[in-house]
Amino acid sequence: MDAQQALADLTEISSQIQAAVVFDDKGKVAASTLDENRAGGLAEGAGRLLEHAQGVKAGDGGVTQLEAATQEGSVFVVAEGKTRIAATTAPDPTVGLVFYDLKSALRSIAVKPAAKRPVRVSGPGEGAPGEPGGSPARTTEPKPAGKKKPAAKTTVEKKPAAEKKPAAEKKPAAPKKPAARPKKPDAP
């Protein structure tokens, strides 16, 4: 899914999010619910928040999410790889839900169409692999999805029924010859 569609879906499902922007680790905006100038400002500010949080964090892992709350509202930032998403909310949002919605939107952007996997084919009486009596999985490649050719239309024209001709006169059957009798063996 593209970033703009992900943001449209996000704002549709989350009533708490007022504005959102998707951007990369360099600050380049990929999609936004704001005008270009405000989107750039939100992306820049959210990027700086992530950088500063990296400097004060404890432990070895990177900062993947943060919330900055004020009396006017909150700013949420979620990072996954080089892609980031930032959103603003009204005061006192449901923090866990906002993070969940942002992560879902971010993952939907990164998801590419799944590669076709082989389909498991099993016959009667086959158990699962590794079970007693089970057999290894047999696979077949799935049929490629494509346009189906429309079935050819066939028309059948009804022909008028043929007129019946009078039956030909039958010739009398030839008499059958009697079957030959087996010869009797000569007597001694």
pLDDT digits (tens, 9 = 90+) for 157-187: 555 555 555 555 556 666 666 666 666 666 5
pTM score of the predicted model = 0.58
* Cross-strand bridge partners of residue 84: 23, 79
Cα(22)–Cα(108) distance, rounded to whole angstroms? 12
Phi/psi-derived region of residue 171, left when phi > 0, alpha when psi is between -120 and 50, beta in every other case: beta
DSSP string, 117-156: PPEEE--TT-B-TTSTTB-PPEEEPPPPP-PPPPPPP---
Residue 108 one-letter amino acid: S
Q: Which one has a higher pLDDT value, 17 or 166?
A: 17
Cα(32)–Cα(85) distance, rounded to whole angstroms? 9
Top-confidence range, 21-25, 110-114, 142-146, 156-160: 21-25
pLDDT recorded at residue 54: 85
Radius of gyration, CA atoms only, the chain: 40
Report the C-alpha dihedral over residues 82, 85, 91, 95, rounded to 10 degrees: -70
